[in-house]
Amino acid sequence: MRAAVVEQYKKPLVVENVPDPVDDAGGVIVDVKACGVCRSDWHGWRGEWPGFTGGDLPHTFGHEFVGVVSDAGKSVTQFKPGDRVIIPFTLGCGHCWFCRTGHSNVCPDITMPGFTYDGGFAEYVHVPNADSNVVPLPDAVSFQEAAGMGCRFMTAYHGVVEVGKVHPGDWLVVYGAGGVGLSATQIASGAGANVIAVDIADDKLDLARKVGAVETINSSTTEPIEAVRDITGGGADMSVDALGIPTTLRNAVGSLRRRGTHVQIGMTPEGEGGEVALTINDLITNEIDYRGSFGMPTVEFRYLLDQVSTGKLHPGDLVTRAIGLSDVNEALDNMTTYKTVGTSVVTDFTH
């Protein structure tokens, strides 16, 4: 099969023929029809997350993939060849306490396609523990749109709705108008929140308005914390850092009113590069609620997919480019310089 392979960190991916994945009794093989290119892939490509990948190269990234089951192991009861499926990027073991209580995204034995093993920048991917991990994809949702909801949209949905518990009328400030930030903007707006999007690029802020932001702030020309306080009359009810760098994290927390809630979705590099200083006394005296959010458990997918199927949410609006495997290099390079607008999705695996 063809795959876009990282042979050296920070160097162009090589599109080449690699061995097909091997199935097991409890897994399925997915014929990949579309795969999003995410900033998490960028972190991996730059070698910033060796704890996820084990640091071993060559490696195939790609964790936002959807497709059709091409083969099912003998123990699989819920899926068969020909089924349309979407795959969470966090795959639980299926039998631990966290998986059994609906929190597969924090399973201690989690596996992640594209990170802990080769992923969706390829024609085929193996998915283990299929009955507990694979999710049926409704016919009403196209493969391209489903790949667009991949990591970023599902992650934003879990963070905003389940972890953040956003309410209609809340003021929510989202720092970063990339894939996760735009997704959070659309989802929160759909839930009735008043969303303020913050970024350094006007084209991204324009798209944020199109998907639901009621206010936008260009933080390269305007001090964002004071601007948020002016707009909201004292501070946001909830903030999301969708980027994961010290500036956006601190600004997001600093934009909150007293007793506000911060949801951290953007991930930082491993090691010292991921350590961000916060003034703890401010968190304490203002009773700030700081929450982490990672991926989305399998059990929540039906709520998200039902909203997409019925047209209440539109992740396809965030897909701005359909590309081929070799174009992943350009998408990753653009992330380095923050030139991406919306989501790029691989739909052509022939070049």
Domains of the chain, by residue range, sit at: 2-151+296-348, 165-292
CATH class of 2-151+296-348: alpha beta
- Residue 52 confidence (pLDDT): 66
Q: Do domains 2-151+296-348 and 165-292 have the same CATH topology?
A: no
- Residue 342 confidence (pLDDT): 82
Please state the three-class secondary structure of the chain as a single string.
CEEEEECCCCCCCEEEECCCCCCCCCCEEEEEEEEEECHHHHHHHCCCCHHHHCCCCCECCCCEEEEEEEEECCCCCCCCCCCEEECCCCECCCCCHHHHCCCHHHCCCCECECCCECCCCECEEEECCHHHHCEECCCCCCHHHHHHHCHHHHHHHHHHHHHCCCCCCCEEEEECCCHHHHHHHHHHHHCCCEEEEEECCHHHHHHHHHCCCCEEEECCCCCHHHHHHHHHCCCEEEEEECCCCHHHHHHHHHCEEEEEEEEECCCCCCHHHHCCCCCHHHHHHCCCEEEECCCCCHHHHHHHHHHHHCCCCCHHHHEEEEEEHHHHHHHHHHHHCCCCCCEEEEEECCC
pTM: 0.90
- Residue 269 confidence (pLDDT): 78
pLDDT (tens digit, 9 = 90+) per residue, 296-307? 999 999 999 999
pLDDT (tens digit, 9 = 90+) per residue, 2-11? 999 999 999 9
Please give the angle made by the CA atoms of 319, 90 and 127, to the nearest 5 degrees. Answer: 90
At the fourth CATH level, the homologous superfamily of domain 165-292 is: NAD(P)-binding Rossmann-like Domain (3.40.50.720)
Confidence of residue 232 (pLDDT cuts 50, 70, 90): very high
- Residue 65 confidence (pLDDT): 96
- Residue 337 confidence (pLDDT): 86
Per the model's pLDDT, the better-predicted residue between 244 and 196 turns out to be: 196
28, 66 contact by CB (below 8 A): no
Confidence of residue 149 (pLDDT cuts 50, 70, 90): confident
- Residue 36 confidence (pLDDT): 94
